[in-house]
């Protein structure tokens, strides 16, 4: 009887999940697991346990915004699927674990899961297969290989608008890739194309009428504006994402936009924010992000605006110290640049070295936007011939930026190039 009841709850959980009933789905899966725990071992019991825990792990991640509860369940399902010879479920568990490891900044483990899942991708549903391939492209981006990432995103068909009646559905299947493709476009100096892709991604999410996807795309769009140094736009989009996340109990997206909102508040009203700095900085400095570098960078930038430079340096040291193991190189130049901004007030030579490192790494990545920003920071602290060279570099970089009207770094660079004696630069905590 318990096995039959467990089967009912698994089916009910699947049904609730398909209709965006996240909490209801979790309740059914947890009830199924509780019933199965009382059953003797058998193949049938193991199959049901796998069918319950595989979606449960993913739903718990969606609700909590944490992989802590999800990973043990997914690892159990991986082991069950392997022992039962259920290759499709094994592939799904591996893909979900790949995603979880990327969130934890464990890129090596993520690649191991990706390699194990690759021969099995044809056995999984289209949406899951798409996720697996999108994660491959995103991994290349996070490792700092921008050219390779853009080639990968282009091969997925997301960099150019699709036409025809199924365009929204086709793009809707690749929403995660579209969001990260927008990050890549901004990094290589195509800020307008980046925004166009983010808008198109959200349009596809709206066409799907899926609150989960809408919350996700609004959150990623907010992150893009944060990277561009546009706090007002980032805050507006983050609040829209947060509203959907609260309605749907999507803890994952609530956590995703929390750091963006804290950063935006510090940027827009630093005097007010300083009065409640302890509140803004006491909450976790991590967030839901593919990799750990982005949330650490946002937290460090928030610390800077709130006058907590020692805390910011500690966070930046942690982020830079983890790069060799995490392989998250895509935002490395900004880590060095922000460090230079912090130390400039007490050691200009050390700041110059940080800016030079940021420029060198950005050049090696082809990250024109980050090279431009670091060169602006360098121009602010040097003088004489070095300042002239930095201004000449800004002029060169501006020829490589496609569009960017209104982007703070582009506006400032054009001002500097047009005013050779200008001494001011971008705000130190831009990120």
**Do 280 and 299 touch, CB atoms closer than 8 A?**
no
Determine what percent of the chain is predicted with pLDDT higher than 70: 92
134-137-143 Cα angle (round to 5): 135
Helix axes 293-305, 332-343, angle to 10 degrees: 20
Half-sphere exposure at residue 232, Cβ-oriented, CA atoms within 13 angstroms: 3
Q: What DSSP string runs through 224-256?
A: HHHHHT-HHHHHHHHHHHHHHHHHHT-HHHHHH
What is d(CA 127, CA 91) in angstroms, rounded to the nearest whole number?
13
CB proximity list for 269: less than 8 A, separation 6 or greater: none
Domain ranges of the chain: 1-124, 127-208, 210-296, 329-431
CATH architecture of 1-124: Alpha Horseshoe (1.25)
pLDDT digits (tens, 9 = 90+) for 187-240: 999 999 999 999 999 998 998 888 999 999 999 999 999 999 999 999 999 999
CA distance 153 to 200: 15
How far, in Å, are 108, 322, 374 from residue 98 at the CA level?
10, 19, 33
CB contact at 8 A, 120 and 89:
no
CA distances from 287 to 153, 201, 224, 252 (A): 24, 22, 15, 9
* CA-CA-CA-CA dihedral for 65, 69, 70, 76, to nearest 10: 180
Q: Are 1-124 and 127-208 in the same CATH fold? A: yes
Residues contacting residue 186 through CB under 8 Å, at least 6 positions apart: 194, 224, 227, 228, 369
Within the chain, which residues score under 70 in pLDDT? 1, 162-173, 273-274, 283-290, 419-431
pLDDT of residue 1: 61
Is domain 127-208 given the CATH code 1.25.40 in the classification?
yes
Q: Mapping DSSP to helix (H, G, I), strand (E, B) and coil, where does residue 27 land?
A: helix
CA angle at residue 398 from 394 to 399, to 5 degrees?
125
The whole-angstrom separation of Cα 150 and Cα 158 is 10
Q: Write the DSSP string, 169-204.
A: HHHHTTHHHHHHHHHHHHHTT-HHHHHHHHHHHHHH
Confidence at residue 426, expressed as pLDDT on a 0 to 100 scale: 42
């Amino acid at each position: 009887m318990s096995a039959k009841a467990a089967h009912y709850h698994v089916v009910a959980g699947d049904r609730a999940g398909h209709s965006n009933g996240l909490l209801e789905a979790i309740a059914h899966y947890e009830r199924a697991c509780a019933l199965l725990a009382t059953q003797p071992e058998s193949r049938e019991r193991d199959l049901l346990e796998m069918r319950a825990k595989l979606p449960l792990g993913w739903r718990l991640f969606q609700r909590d915004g944490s992989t802590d509860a999800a990973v043990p369940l997914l690892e159990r399902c991986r082991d069950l699927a392997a022992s039962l010879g259920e290759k499709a479920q094994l592939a799904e568990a591996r893909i979900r674990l790949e995603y979880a490891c990327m969130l934890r900044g464990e890129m090596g483990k993520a690649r191991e899961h990706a390699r194990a899942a690759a021969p099995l991708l044809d056995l999984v549903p289209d949406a899951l297969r798409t996720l697996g391939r999108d994660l491959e492209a995103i991994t290349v981006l996070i490792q700092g290989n921008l050219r390779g990432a853009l080639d990968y995103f282009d091969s997925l068909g997301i960099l150019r608008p699709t036409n025809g009646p199924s365009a929204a559905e086709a793009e809707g299947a690749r929403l995660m890739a579209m969001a990260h493709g927008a990050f890549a476009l901004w990094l290589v100096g195509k800020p307008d194309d980046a925004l166009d892709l983010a808008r198109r991604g959200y349009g596809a999410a709206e066409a799907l009428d899926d609150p989960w996807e809408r919350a996700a795309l609004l959150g990623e769009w907010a992150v893009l504006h944060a990277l561009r140094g546009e706090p007002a736009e980032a805050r507006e989009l983050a609040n829209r994402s947060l509203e959907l996340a609260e309605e749907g109990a999507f803890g994952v997206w609530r956590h995703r936009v929390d750091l963006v909102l804290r950063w935006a508040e510090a940027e827009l009203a630093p005097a007010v924010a300083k009065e409640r700095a302890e509140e803004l900085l006491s909450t976790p400095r991590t967030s839901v992000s593919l990799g750990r570098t982005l949330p650490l960078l946002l937290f460090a930038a928030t610390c800077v605006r709130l006058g907590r430079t020692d805390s910011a340096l500690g966070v930046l040291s942690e982020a830079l110290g983890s790069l060799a193991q995490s392989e998250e190189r895509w935002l490395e130049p900004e880590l060095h640049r922000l460090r230079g901004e912090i130390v400039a007030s007490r050691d200009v030579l050390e700041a110059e070295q940080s800016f030079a490192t940021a420029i060198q790494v950005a050049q090696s990545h082809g990250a024109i936007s980050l090279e431009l920003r670091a060169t602006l920071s360098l121009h602010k602290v040097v003088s004489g011939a070095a300042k002239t060279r930095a201004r000449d570099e800004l002029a060169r970089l501006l020829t490589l930026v496609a569009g960017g009207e209104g982007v703070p770094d582009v506006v400032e660079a054009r001002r500097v190039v047009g005013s050779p004696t200008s001494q001011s630069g971008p705000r130190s905590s831009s990120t």
